Structure 1
Amino acid sequence: MYASITPFDLVPSNYITLDFSKENKELEDVNFEDIESFNAYVFDKLKAENVKMGIGGWLENRVVYNQISHFQGAEQRSHHLGVDIWMKAYSPIFCPENCTIHSYKNNEGNGDYGPTIVLKSLAANVYYLFGHLSLESIKGLQNRKVIKKGEHFAEVGPYPENGNWPPHLHFQVMNSMEGKMGDFPGVCAASELDHYKTICLNPYPFLDLPELD
């Protein structure tokens, strides 16, 4: 049994599922390059449903990335490898199980992670990436420091320091860091998806959630 990583219980009365795929026609009216427009879309949805959080995104093929240069290249990256938990900036984040700090980094740049912390489970070959944190979250950290199950160790970052996104936590679970420190792809191209499916684990069991996507 894992500890909740959020300040609110992950029960249906506290969250809605947010869809950022092409099937959601509402997105046609959202300018994702305008942070105020993007932020209003997310938090107006939460307010309308009277919930604390929006959740979703595991392996979702997202249209949002089509408008953000960070995800452009020889092949468009649009497949999301973690789960996003949209909630207010500075919401506390808690450790799911006894871990050590594997690495941390401020991944600067529009559309990037901003501050991240990667935790390594003490019980299994599992790594947890927490992205879009506040800058305060990574101050004074040390690799290999023990973080206990249920311990408050970080907080959701505000924009623009969180990579210039509406406030949310990107939570991703991996069985390998592939030699990376403080960073790991959170979005991949279609041609890379089979590879990353072998590394990026389904995050929902770690959140004690049913399949949402």
Structure 2
Amino acid sequence: MLLPFDFQKDPFLILDFSASNPDLSTLDLTNTALFTNYVFGKLKAAGAKVGVGGYNEHRVIYRRSPHFNASVEEPREIHLGIDLWADAGTPVFAPLAGRVHSFQDNANFGDYGPTIILEHPGNAAGKPLYSLYGHLTRQSLDGLYEGKEFNAGQKLAEIGPYPDNGDWPPHLHFQLMTDMLGLKGDFPGVCSLTNRKKFIALCPNPNTLLHIPGLD
């Protein structure tokens, strides 16, 4: 369990943030309050408790932030994790046993905000696995230290409010990585089209753990 929802029973809504969603062309995505009203209005209209989606999605919403669109680089618009859109304060549980690899507050507009990365025991082939939890409350970082252990199902954090969470509508960015590339407290959650194949190979689909029906 990652959030206190049963995706086999509880109603959820798959949210599309690609260019194929016509709503996004009329929505001021730089206004986080309006963006939040849009997301949670969609959930309410659908009778859903949580919104989900985004793995390997070519998104347009990152154009709201210069963090993803540095002028000297190709824009980063390919999403590498799954987002779970739910109320601020929703508890986040460790889906696997692991220990804290690193953590920090990535406080740029449109960034992760408070972030925790866990390291999990290697599989039978000895390959490592890491999981990233972004857009948390700042209090979620209190008392953490590298090496702190969490059992599967143990409360890890809470979904944060904006602007503390990197200035996004409240949600959890959940991502898996097989190589941290020497990074600590942060890892790209979005990549360019050019680097898509490389990063998808490093970041397996989190739905292999979550088993959310209807997600690729």
Provide TM-score, normalisation by structure 2.
0.94
TM alignment of 1:127-166, pairs within 5 A: 127-166=130-169
Q: CA RMSD in A?
A: 1.2
Q: CA deviation at 1:123?
A: 4.6
Q: CA deviation at 1:211?
A: 5.1
* CA offset digits 1:72-122 (Å, max 9, x no partner): 122111000001000000100001111111110000110110000001112
TM alignment of 1:35-46, pairs within 5 A: 35-46=32-43
Q: CA deviation at 1:200?
A: 0.3
Q: CA deviation at 1:190?
A: 0.6
Q: Does 1:194 align with 2:191?
A: no
Q: Does 1:55 align with 2:58?
A: no
Instruction: Find runs of 4+ consecutive structure 1 residues off by over 6 angstroms.
Output: none
1:90 maps to: 89
3-state DSSP of counterpart to 1:48: helix
* CA offset digits 1:116-153 (Å, max 9, x no partner): 00011125311000000000000110111110010011
2:17 maps to: 20
Corresponding letter in the other structure for 1:93: V
* CA offset digits 1:158-199 (Å, max 9, x no partner): 000100000000000011111110100000111111110110
How far apart are the structure 2 equivalents of 1:105 and 1:55? 25
How far apart are the structure 2 equivalents of 1:12 and 1:109? 36
Q: CA deviation at 1:10?
A: 1.7
3-state DSSP of counterpart to 1:191: coil
How far apart are the structure 2 equivalents of 1:211 and 1:44? 21
How far apart are the structure 1 equivalents of 2:176 and 2:56? 12
TM alignment of 1:66-81, pairs within 5 A: 66-73=63-70, 74-81=73-80
How far apart are the structure 1 equivalents of 2:214 and 2:201? 18
Paired residues of 1:204 and 1:211 also in contact (CA < 8 A): no
Percent identity of the aligned residues?
44
Q: Does 1:101 align with 2:100?
A: yes
Count of paired positions: 210
Corresponding letter in the other structure for 2:94: C
Match of 2:26 among 24, 29, 35: 29
Query: Runs of 5+ in structure 1 lacking a partner?
Result: none
Q: CA deviation at 1:34?
A: 0.3
